[in-house]
Amino acid sequence: MLKAIVLTAAMLICGLATGKQMYQYIDKDGIEHYTDKRPAADQEFKSRPLRMPAAKPVAVRQVGSEDEPAWLMRNNLAGPIEVQLILEESKAVVSQPELPASVLLMAGQEDTILELFADGSGERWIFRWNYQVIPGDPGIVPNSSAVNYIPFPSGQAYWVSQAFQGQQTHLDKQSKFAIDITMPEGTPVLAVRDGIVMAMEDNFFEGGQKRERYLNKANQIRVLHADGTMSVYAHLKLDSTKVRKGQSVTAGQQLAESGNTGFSSGPHLHFAIQRNAGGKLLSLPFTFTRSNGTQVVPDRTLRLVN
């Protein structure tokens, strides 16, 4: 049997990320130190960005034989994902499932997502494929009556600088109903609803208005709710997270601190409620419930009071 030519091309959803700082200094005893903890103010030191591998949402490995290969994929997130398998090139081979196809993997699940077999023609076969990962289960039904509390402490008030259908940076479907809340760096960011920390990123320290450089460098937390929707809290401060992936959280619990990381013009919290709508993320309109029980729709620029 002819040896298979198999080329896979996994979509780059995560790579090496510039994250924390590495500090180098010599202490009073002449001992040289390398650490990610900032030295005391009176200590002379050198610093440089520490490049750390970003968390990968999935892990893929090839199994089977050269003539009948298969691929296993593991979901590393603490919630379901939809994996879209994309066909790029195929010759003298059949696949199971036939591509394009969609596979649902639950939290922590590892399963066979793709198997290949020669079609019997005897020709040398080629198969190129790709994939993309969308967080969430596309089969969920959002709870339209769910209560969402304001994501900062009671007694505080901040401006909504970009509301629903914002025309500055919220131009795609996954951010159409997102909002930006202007707040000082270090403000506690609270969970709006009970849920499970599905995914998080806490290694980025840079921020700025160069879209190409900073777009994918915002610290963020994604919380999965009972109805399958997900709340997203972005531009968080470096090393400020108070929770871990897979942890259950309750409404009002502190998740992190607001910051200015990623594609940002100033300290603020980017907040959205999203669902997987079958191969794409959609943001959903929502209302906030204040600490006194009254509701507010953040559909216009306003001073949001909790």
Q: Does residue 118 share a domain with residue 181?
A: no
User: Judging by DSSP bridges, how do beta strands 58-64 and 295-296 pair with one another?
Assistant: unpaired
Does 141 fall in a domain? no
Q: Does residue 128 share a domain with residue 95?
A: yes
Q: Does residue 230 share a domain with residue 191?
A: yes
Domain count along the chain: 3
Q: What range does the domain containing 85 cover?
A: 5-12+55-135
The type of residue at 213 is R
Q: Does residue 109 share a domain with residue 61?
A: yes
In tens, the pLDDT along 101-154 reads 999 999 999 999 999 998 888 888 889 999 999 999 999 999 989 999 999 999
In tens, the pLDDT along 175-213 reads 889 999 999 999 999 999 999 999 998 877 766 566 666
Does 72 fall in a domain? yes
pLDDT band, residue 8 (cuts 50/70/90): very low
Does 201 fall in a domain? yes
What's the CATH code of the domain at 243?
2.70.70.10
Report the alpha-carbon distance of residue 243 to residue 165 in Å, rounded.
30
Q: Does residue 131 share a domain with residue 192?
A: no
Does 140 fall in a domain? no
At 227 the three-state DSSP class reads coil
Stretch 241-261: mean pLDDT: 94
Does 144 fall in a domain? no
CA torsion 80-86-90-95 (nearest 10°) is 20
**299 or 98, higher pLDDT:** 98
In tens, the pLDDT along 209-239 reads 666 665 666 789 999 999 999 999 999 998 8
Does 256 fall in a domain? yes
State the pLDDT at residue 305.
80
pLDDT band, residue 21 (cuts 50/70/90): low
Nearest partner of 223 among 267, 273, 268, judged by Cα: 273
Cα–Cα distances (Å) from 59 to 45, 55, 83, 111, 280, in that order, read 38, 10, 12, 11, 21
Q: Does residue 246 share a domain with residue 110?
A: no
State the pLDDT at residue 7.
44
